[in-house]
Copies of this chain bind each other. A is one copy, B any other.
Amino acid sequence: MSSHKLCMIPGPIEFHEDVLQAMATPGTSHVGPTFIPVLGESIELLRQILFTSGQPFIIAGSGTLGWDMTACNLIEAGEDVLVCNSGYFGDRFGECLETYGAKATHLRVPIGESPDLAAVSAALKTKKFKAITITHVDTSTGVLSDIKGIADVVRRESPETLVVVDGVCSVGSEEIRMDAWGIDVVVTASQKALGAPPGLCVMGVSERAIQVFKNRKTPVANYYANWTRWLPIMNAYEARKPSYFATPAVQNIFALHVSLKQIVAQGIEKRFAVHKEASAKAKKFIHDLGLTLVPTSLDHAANGMSAVYYPEGVTATDLLPKLAAHGIVAAGGLHVEIAPKYFRIGHMGISVTEPERGHLDATLNALKASLVECGYKGAL
């Protein structure tokens, strides 16, 4: 364990000891009385965390599977979807939608910018969209989109359009209020600000979207991701009854359950605030080092991560190994157009909610030291 480097990438993150301990739960029946309430309660906790009376899903897989679930259950072939595209994950979500026959119209913004409300409004006037997708935090750019503002625009311009949020890099670190803001779908995964190891696709779906699903005209063209199969299973676990479709990832769900309980116990409002504070601190430190963020304004920069351009003369091959030598794992660039030019650090979960662990300070200090080692003068 002494060789463990801090995992300060924008997911997977560092996990609480109690969460890891739950991962080591011995073999347990997926339909027995030890596990049933754990999944049942996790579903209930997700409702609180997402501020929704809708339907959570917790399925073995990853965030990407949540795109398939959205595309195959809510969109029918030939329907139009407006993709607010603020980076890599918008491109990919669009590809996923098209795989299931949707027609994706991309509303692309320049790298580092966030979707503009007027542009969304204008796009919504061009045709009838079954859904709009928004990457809440595009992990490739660190851009935060204004999902509340966009949902408002949709309600005004095209109230029947389903509002779908890719919250893989935002649920648990950014404010989301599904019902109050009129958000129909939140796609996320366990490994980022929900604070549990990767392996779970996690979703919240509004009652309205569940009705749209139930009123489909064509069959769902997927087996594993089909809500027809999963809805009764989620309902059964919540009713504390055994049921089976496909074996849940029992240990991962034990772990998620521990993390969700911690999140609710600490208070979700406080969690938003703490992530904001930590992010402000990180971004000030980065600014004071003379570095530039990928997001063009702090107003639309994510609170759970920072995407930062290398200063002149420093490259990924220089900086990332030096950070690692200081015990910090950071991530390289992901957005294809600028990948070699920037790096990313995550500041989510226990690394910021429990500052006494010193993760963020260690990361920022290592960043400074590594830049100095790279010969960067601005850091002095």
Chain A interface residues toward B at CB < 8 A: 1, 4-5, 7, 9, 11-15, 20-21, 23-32, 34, 60-65, 67-68, 71, 95-96, 99-100, 189, 191, 197-199, 219-226, 244-252, 329, 331, 334
| Complex Cα spacing A221 to B97, Å | 11
Pairwise interchain contact A247-B12, C-beta atoms closer than 8 A: yes
Q: Which listed residue, B1, B63, B246, B334, touches A62 by the CB 8 Å rule?
A: B246
Chain B residue nearest to A101 (CB atoms) is: B221
Which residues does chain B contribute within 8 Å of A95, judged by CB atoms?
223
Complex A-B: 27 CB contacts under 8 Å: A7-B26, A7-B27, A14-B26, A15-B26, A20-B24, A20-B25, A23-B24, A60-B62, A60-B65, A60-B249, A62-B249, A64-B224, A64-B245, A67-B224, A68-B223, A99-B219, A99-B220, A99-B222, A99-B223, A100-B223, A191-B250, A197-B249, A197-B251, A198-B250, A199-B249, A199-B251, A252-B252
Interchain nearest-CB distance for A305 vs B (Å): 14
| Complex Cα spacing A27 to B19, Å | 11
Pairwise interchain contact B64-A251, C-beta atoms closer than 8 A: no
Which residues does chain B contribute within 8 Å of A12, judged by CB atoms?
27-30, 247, 250
Count identical subunits in the complex: 2
Interchain nearest-CB distance for A60 vs B (Å): 5
User: Knowing A96-B223, A197-B251, A251-B199 touch, does A246 contact B28 (C-beta < 8 A)?
Assistant: no
Pairwise interchain contact B62-A247, C-beta atoms closer than 8 A: yes
User: Knowing A23-B23, A61-B65, A96-B223 touch, does A248 contact B198 (C-beta < 8 A)?
Assistant: yes
Which of A32, A60, A245 has the most CB atoms of chain B within a 10 A radius of its CB? Answer: A60
User: Knowing A32-B329, A197-B251 touch, does A1 contact B14 (C-beta < 8 A)?
Assistant: no
Pairwise interchain contact A11-B247, C-beta atoms closer than 8 A: yes
Pairwise interchain contact B27-A14, C-beta atoms closer than 8 A: yes
Pairwise interchain contact B198-A60, C-beta atoms closer than 8 A: yes
Q: Which listed residue, B9, B32, B221, touches A99 by the CB 8 Å rule?
A: B221
Which residues does chain B contribute within 8 Å of A1, judged by CB atoms?
26
Which residues does chain B contribute within 8 Å of A99, judged by CB atoms?
219-223, 226
Excluding A99-B226, A197-B249, 5 further A-B contacts by CB distance (< 8 Å) are A12-B30, A15-B27, A21-B24, A60-B60, A191-B250
